[in-house]
Amino acid sequence: MMTVAQSISPGIYRKLGYDLGKDFSYVTLMAILPSLLTTHPSLPAKNVKDVIALAKARPGQIIYASTGNGTSPHMLMEMFKWMAAVNVVHVPYKGQAQSVIDQISGQIQLAFNTAVTVLPHVNQGKLKPIAISTKERFPPLPDLQTVAEGGVKGFDGSSWQAVVMPAGTPREIVARVYQELAAMLKAPETRERFLAQGALASGIPPEEFAGFVKREAEKWGKVAKAAGVTVD
């Protein structure tokens, strides 16, 4: 299994034990996990434009949480900061559970978290949904704008999970595994089960998936450079 973390790592680590372009045979993207941009209910913001305006009015005063340096929630917010030209303060946590608890309690004002993690808290009114991180809207929250629709044009990011094999794996084996996975991922019952868990089933062909990973690495590399994110 490969995740978004492997496409972020080349941009933030000086030394890696793998090369995305040489060490893998790409099979398929299994699922995309959109993230929700949420605020504490007390924050006077209803949409992306409000968040940006508030952040610009209070530079360095709004605190956002992540699950650690270089993680998807961290990089999503750094991309938001970069593209929206705002200054919010990063507080890294060792995991998602505590960061969400602290946001519910009001210690943290802002965060990107996978939809599956925070959707129950949103439905209970403990967190306020501002936008979805992907370029397309999230079916369980059809009326919620994307970050791009909210005013940050071109914003598109998420967590994802995929299947790869070692470099040099015969093409017929890659094709056979892909066909089996794609058939499963295209089944309505699979898509419904994934959606219930906050994920969007994919199943794109190997060549398309390889291009997707390359674009992801390039995108996160630019974000890391702009934000000065490094992890040693």
Q: Which pLDDT band holds residue 53 (cuts at 50, 70, 90)?
A: very high
pLDDT over 90 (residue 22) = yes
What amino acid occupies position 195? Answer: L
Closest residue by Cα to residue 66 from 56, 83, 79? 79
Query: What are the tens digits of pLDDT across the range 107-162?
Result: 999 999 999 899 999 999 999 999 999 999 999 999 999 999 999 999 999 999 99
Q: pLDDT at position 200, please? A: 96
Inform me whether the pLDDT recorded for 71 exceeds 90.
Answer: yes
pLDDT for the residue numbered 127: 96
What domains are there in the chain, each with its CATH number?
Answer: 2-32+158-227 (3.40.190.150), 35-132 (3.40.190.10)
pLDDT band at 231 (very low <50, low <70, confident <90, very high): confident
Question: Average pLDDT, stretch 43-72?
Answer: 95
**pTM, 2 dp:** 0.94
**CB neighbour burial string for 95-128, b if at least 16 within 10 angstroms, e if fewer:** ebeebbebbbeeebbbbbbbbbbbbebbeeebbb
Q: Is 200 left (phi over 0), alpha (psi -120 to 50) or beta?
A: beta
Q: What is the pLDDT of residues 173-219, one digit of tens each?
A: 999 999 999 999 999 999 999 998 889 999 999 999 999 999 999 99
Q: 112 and 32 in contact (C-beta within 8 Å)?
A: no
pLDDT at 95: 85
Using CA atoms, how far residue 232 sits from 32, 96, 199, 217, in Å, is: 28, 21, 31, 18
* Position 164 pLDDT exceeds 80: yes
| pLDDT given for residue 96 in this prediction | 86
pLDDT at site 212:
98
Question: What pLDDT, on a 0 to 100 scale, did the predictor assign at position 197?
Answer: 86
Give the mean pLDDT of the chain. 95
Please check whether residue 199 is in contact with residue 33, taking contact to mean a CB–CB distance below 8 angstroms. Answer: yes
Sign of CA dihedral 116, 213, 220, 80: negative
Res. 167 pLDDT band, cuts 50 70 90: very high
